[in-house]
Structure 1
Amino acid sequence: MSEELREDLSQIIAELEKKCGQNPNSVMAVHHLGLVYMKAGRVDEAITCLEKALEIDDLSHESMINLGAIYFGQGNVAKAQELNERAIASQPESAQAHANLGLIWQQQNELDKALASYEKAVQYDPKLITVWLNLASVLTMKGEDDRAVESSQKAIDIDPDSPLAHNNMAVALYFKKNIKKAVHHMNRAKELGYSVDPNFEARLNEQLA
């Protein structure tokens, strides 16, 4: 973090701390202070603020989402799952909560549950490229290669310069035995800076020869 950004964050934190002191029951002020603490790397203080926001309003959807993200990053999967399920209960059409829950299920190798959560996420927000990327990975693991290609294409449509989207497409096409197109997307992923698995690259080039 640059010194300039650190100074800017310190100033914002001071202003928000003052607002929270003046109005300690303001969910918005407490929540925003928590977010800035997160950005500043002050994780424990961020947790305290977001927990406080939920004490003030137990339906504070964004506080659940952000607090869940912190706990997931810390490896507290159970707490992250609980918070995202609460977020979905309060707002069933929350694409981000469904996306986060999908990632939690995927980490636990619960692929069917991950797939269901990701599908709900893109149903509510079809522009979430990370979800299409994760969907492609899960579908490949499940052997649903046609759908993996479709999901990879969705990601490429959203961001044609996404290296991961092109790599995912290469993998999906490899399993569909479309080697020529797979090599094309692999090379595009490399051009965009992706570190392609050398073993995968060798297999592709071997089959192309």
Structure 2
Amino acid sequence: MAEVEKTADLATVISDLEKVVEEKPENVVARHHLGLVYRQAGRIDEAITQLQKAIELDNQSMESMINLGAIYFDIGETDKALALNQQALSISPKMAEAHVNIGLIYQQQSRVAESIESYLKAIEIDPKLLTAWINLTSAYTMSEEDAKAVEAARQAVTLEPESAMAMNNLAVALYFQGSYEESHESMEKAKALGYSVDSRFVAALQEKLG
């Protein structure tokens, strides 16, 4: 569901969906979308309530599980986020997005080896899934597998040359590999693509380059 850009439009969408839910409480789709717009409006508790209700009404509602998991991840309740993504995978084991989400949760919990495994599962399902390659790069960097981090970063950049985050990840991976000149080139490309490069990384790279 596309985000509503104007506050007035968002309020209108919320009002319309609330009416639908009031008239048809069993409407799973309406509750799901109401949860999404509540989240967009910052009404997190209400968003959780609606998405939970959507799942209660339809225990196959994977999108509601994924979106509710995203909310729990954002508010730091990673165990709940993990359970919801695992629930989605139990319905559709080849849901690459859920594998990426689980990888990110594991990474947040410092379970790096498990996060790498999850990202690789996502890539096996969808080799062109950019987020999987981007997150895999950072996970390999965290585990100090520098050559693999560079390889994953290069794959991300190949898939999406205009991705500022992928380019920045490549710069970081190259830095830890000791390829400082190429790291600098990638960093400058990331900046040109609009990425706000960490000033500490810039300073560390400049020190290595002398």
TM over 0.5: yes
- Counterparts of 1:105 and 1:175 in 2: how far apart (Å)? 22
* Pair 28,204 (structure 1): closer, same or farther in 2 beyond 3 Å: same
Question: What is aligned with 1:77?
Answer: 78
**1:114-125 to 2 correspondence within 5 Å?**
114-125=115-126
Q: CA deviation at 1:203?
A: 4.1
Q: Which moved more, 1:18-27 or 1:108-117?
A: 18-27
The whole-number CA distance in structure 2 between the counterparts of 1:206 and 1:37 is: 47
Instruction: Report the Cα distance in structure 2 between the residues aligned to 1:54 and 1:199, rounded to whole angstroms.
Output: 44
Deviation per residue, 1:73-105 (Å, 9 max, x gap): 111111111111111111111111111111110
> Using a 3 Å threshold, how does the CA distance of structure 1 residues 17 and 202 change in structure 2: closer, same or farther?
closer
Q: Output the TM-score relative to the length of structure 1.
A: 0.89
Q: Secondary structure at the match of 1:75?
A: coil
Cα deviation digits, residues 148-197 of structure 1 (max 9, x gap): 11211122123223222222212222233322212211222233333434
Consecutive unaligned residues in structure 2, runs of 5 or more = none
Distance 2:154 2:75 in 1: 32
Residue identity matched to 1:15: D
More displaced 10-residue stretch of structure 1: 76-85 or 128-137: 128-137
Q: Which runs of 5+ in 1 are unaligned?
A: none
Quick one: which amino acid aligns to residue 42 of structure 2?
Answer: G
Structure 1 ranges of 4+ moved more than 6 A? none
Where do residues 168-207 of structure 1 align in structure 2 (5 Å cutoff)? 168-207=169-208
The separation in 2 between residues aligned to 1:157 and 1:21, in whole angstroms, is 48
Q: Please say which of residues 102-111 and 154-163 is displaced more in the overlay.
A: 154-163
How far has the Cα of 1:199 moved from its partner? 4.5
Look up the equivalent residue of 2:19 and give its one-letter code: K
**Number of residue pairs matched by the alignment:** 207
**Percent sequence identity over matched residues?**
51
User: The residue matched to 2:6 in structure 1 has which SS?
Assistant: helix
1:135 match: 136
Over aligned residue pairs, what C-alpha RMSD do you find?
A: 2.0
In 2, the alpha carbon distance for the partners of 1:169 and 1:149 equals 6
Q: Secondary structure at the match of 2:127?
A: coil
